[in-house]
Amino acid sequence: MNISQLKKFMQPHFEIFEGLDVYFWIAGGAIKDFFIGKNLKDYDFFFASHEDREIAQKRLLESGAQKVKDLPRGEKYIYKDNYYDMLCWSGSDESLANAKTPEEMIKLFDFTIGMAALDNKGEFVCHSDFENHIKSKILVRNSIQDRQPRVNNRRLLKYIKDGFTIDSENLLKWLEDQEATFEYRHNINKNKTKQLNKKCNMLI
């Protein structure tokens, strides 16, 4: 796995924010796509704080980028035919999804093939099985069990369309997480309904 080629490829994207006193990194899909030889058009930039993210977004807009849409943890922009997701997981109301460093963040990703990051200091971090699973094109579920579940069916389908395979054990883990997600969201909605009804009763 040629990390120096990855750094060279990503350098023009890092240079957009050159001179800013902010720490950030590219992680997940863009790095996976680079190593499987897929054409890259979408880059996820992560920042240690919302303040740093806003500084970088200002630079991106000053460079001629246009905002595409709001995201749960940031905003998406288009710049020179590339899409940039400007994200921050720090301070999230999802306590298990907080991350201020690349090392913390990749531990929260769903599959080992996405557990890699390159920061603007040139440091590359990844899961110990990242290279092997990328080369073998196999999907292995993250071993962290107490994460807050999220719906990621579209990501799984994307991986499979890219030629990755998943065995029954890891698929079972995935399905169990999906079931937990549905239960979690159902409970959230039920609690919101209870709170709303309570407020309405107080007004009567």
pLDDT value of position 172: 86
The Cα-based distances of 145 to 20, 53, 108, 149, 174 in angstroms read 37, 29, 10, 9, 11
Q: How confident is the model at residue 142 (pLDDT cuts 50, 70, 90)?
A: confident
| Highest averaged pLDDT of the listed ranges 85-94, 142-151, 155-164 | 155-164
The reported pTM is: 0.81
Burial (CB count within 10 angstroms: exposed 0-12, middle 13-18, buried 19+), residue 54: middle
Q: Which position has the token pair 């990703």?
A: 109
Residue 1 in 3-state DSSP?
coil
- Categorise residue 89: left if φ over 0, alpha if ψ from -120 to 50, beta otherwise: alpha
Mean pLDDT (whole number) for 69-97: 83
DSSP 162: T
Determine the 3-state secondary structure of 24 from DSSP. strand
pLDDT tens readout for residues 149-175: 454 677 888 899 999 999 999 988 888
Determine the 3-state secondary structure of 44 from DSSP.
strand
Alpha-carbon span 90 to 105, nearest angstrom: 10
CA distance 171 to 69: 32
| pLDDT over 70, % of the chain | 79
Query: Which stretch of 12-21, 102-111, 195-204 has the lowest confidence by average pLDDT?
Result: 195-204
The rounded distance, in Å, linking the Cα atoms of 44 and 194 is 37
- The predicted structure's pLDDT at residue 146: 45
Place of tokens 């309570």: 198
CATH topology of domain 3-203: Beta Polymerase; domain 2 (3.30.460)
> How many CA atoms lie within 13 Å of 190's alpha carbon, on the beta-carbon side?
6
82: β partners: 79
Classify residue 110 by its DSSP letter: S
Provide the residue ranges of all domains of the chain, joining segments of one domain with +: 3-203
Residues linked to residue 46 through DSSP beta bridges, in sequence order: 25, 87
Structure letter (DSSP) for residue 111: B
CA distances from 88 to 46, 48, 70, 156, 194 (A): 5, 6, 13, 23, 31
The mean pLDDT value of the chain amounts to 85
